[in-house]
């Protein structure tokens, strides 16, 4: 079904599996067994499949995702992401929201709600679109201008803007890590050989599949992960951010 297909993307496609495993490593640095953890939206539950605390809750607006996780024994409720703060004020020790807010132009309201749902000293783990990377992706900028947006990058922040936003919300930024190097529009356009020949597209598709086979067959995660170190931030689609509510 569609839920399993979504889940399998992070297990069977190398560019998404790298992202998933890096997110797990990032969360592990901050999560403790005693914490009340909320994953919002929980999606297929890929994070809670590998990490778990004594008290946890999954939130999603999709009934299919809710049912899928409940069958795995995960406590879940159906709720709109914009309502998390009002429904759960000052309740969670840690809240994660990954691969999500890139889809919302009003994502700042979502972040404010997440912060409000945290206890004092609570931690938010979130990925935020990297505005510097967007500046390298002209098709996105052109599309936004056609739509009439005054800000051509309405869902992105620079590293400094991330710091300024959360400090203004009475939070300390613990870490901003450049993230998601391999799964982005530029590489998709390369793989699909946009503007090129069908032969070129087939050759690149074969290369992509062989990299995929080698990645999983030889467990090349550490090689790809270490290759990212030292690369400039604009090469990464997002920032993984950890903040603590004061």
Please list the helix, strand and coil fractions of the chain in percent, rounded to the nearest 5, in that order.
45, 20, 30
Confirm if 110 and 104 have CB atoms less than 8 A apart: yes
Instruction: Give me the residues paired with residue 173 across strands.
Output: 243
Confirm if 183 and 19 have CB atoms less than 8 A apart: yes
Q: Judging by beta carbons within 10 Å of its beta carbon (0-12, 13-18, 19+), is residue 32 exposed, middle or buried? A: exposed
Model confidence at 46, pLDDT cuts 50, 70, 90, reads very high
How far does the chain reach from its first CA to its final CA, in angstroms?
Answer: 42
Tell me the two tokens of residue 52: 């778990």
Residue 61: the pLDDT is 96
> How many Cα atoms sit within 13 Å of 204 on the Cβ side?
14
pLDDT in tens, 159-193: 999 999 999 999 999 999 999 999 987 788 888 88
**What value, to the nearest 5°, has the Cα angle with vertex 71 and ends 26 and 96?**
20
Residue 185: the pLDDT is 77
> How many Cα atoms sit within 13 Å of 52 on the Cβ side?
8
Residue 189: the pLDDT is 80
Alpha-carbon span 194 to 72, nearest angstrom: 41
Instruction: Give me the residues paired with residue 118 across strands.
Output: 92
Alpha-carbon span 62 to 99, nearest angstrom: 15
Model confidence at 152, pLDDT cuts 50, 70, 90, reads low
pTM above 0.75, yes or no: yes
The per-residue pLDDT of the chain, averaged, comes to: 92
Most confident of 42-51, 129-138, 183-192: 42-51
pLDDT in tens, 49-107: 999 999 999 999 999 999 999 999 999 999 999 999 999 999 999 999 999 998 898 99
């Amino acid at each position: 079904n569609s839920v399993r297909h979504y889940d399998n993307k992070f297990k069977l496609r190398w560019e998404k599996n790298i992202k998933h495993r890096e997110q797990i490593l990032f969360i592990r640095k901050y999560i403790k067994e005693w914490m009340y953890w909320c994953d919002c939206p929980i999606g297929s539950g890929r994070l809670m499949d590998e990490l778990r605390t004594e008290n946890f809750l999954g939130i999603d607006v999709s009934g299919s995702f809710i049912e899928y996780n409940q069958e795995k024994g995960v406590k879940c409720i159906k709720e709109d992401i914009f309502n998390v703060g009002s429904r759960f004020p000052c309740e969670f020790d840690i809240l994660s929201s990954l691969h999500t807010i890139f889809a919302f132009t009003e994502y700042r309201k979502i972040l404010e709600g997440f912060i409000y749902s945290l206890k004092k000293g609570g931690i938010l783990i979130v990925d935020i679109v990297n505005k510097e990377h967007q500046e390298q992706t002209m098709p996105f900028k052109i599309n936004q201008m056609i739509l009439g947006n005054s800000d051509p990058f309405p869902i992105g922040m620079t590293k400094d803007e991330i710091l300024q936003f959360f400090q203004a919300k009475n939070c300390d930024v613990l870490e901003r890590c450049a993230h998601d190097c391999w799964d982005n529009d530029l590489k998709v356009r390369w793989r699909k050989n946009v503007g090129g020949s069908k032969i070129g597209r087939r050759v690149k598709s074969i290369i992509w599949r062989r990299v995929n086979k080698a990645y999983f067959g030889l467990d090349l995660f550490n090689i790809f992960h270490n290759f990212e170190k030292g690369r400039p931030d604009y090469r990464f689609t997002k920032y993984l951010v950890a903040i603590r509510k004061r």
